[in-house]
């Protein structure tokens, strides 16, 4: 499950896919999911990601910098 973290209480919604910056089909976090309409600066929350964070990521793939990772 994925959500726009700072827009959980309603507002305009849309069907969207959430993808990462890597040019690989594996970088898909949510496909055709109804979400709150996101704007630049919003927080995307990926629930139940478990161990599939930075430790399971292809670090330095295509020269991308390491991402920020926050445990809440």
Query: Cα–Cα distance between 23 and 21 in angstroms, integer?
Result: 7
Residue whose entry in the numeric block shows the structure tokens 């020269």: 63
Indicate if 23 belongs to the active site: yes
User: Annotated catalytic residue: which of 23, 26, 62, 72?
Assistant: 23
- 43: exposed, middle or buried (C-beta count within 10 Å: 0-12, 13-18, 19+)? exposed
Task: List active site positions.
Answer: 23
């Amino acid at each position: 499950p994925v959500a726009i973290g700072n827009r959980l209480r309603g507002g305009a919604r849309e069907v969207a896919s959430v993808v990462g910056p890597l040019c690989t089909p594996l970088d898909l976090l949510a496909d055709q999911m109804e979400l709150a309409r996101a704007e630049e600066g919003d927080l995307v929350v990926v629930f139940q990601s478990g161990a599939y964070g930075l430790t399971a990521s292809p670090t330095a793939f295509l020269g991308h910098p390491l991402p920020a990772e926050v445990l809440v």
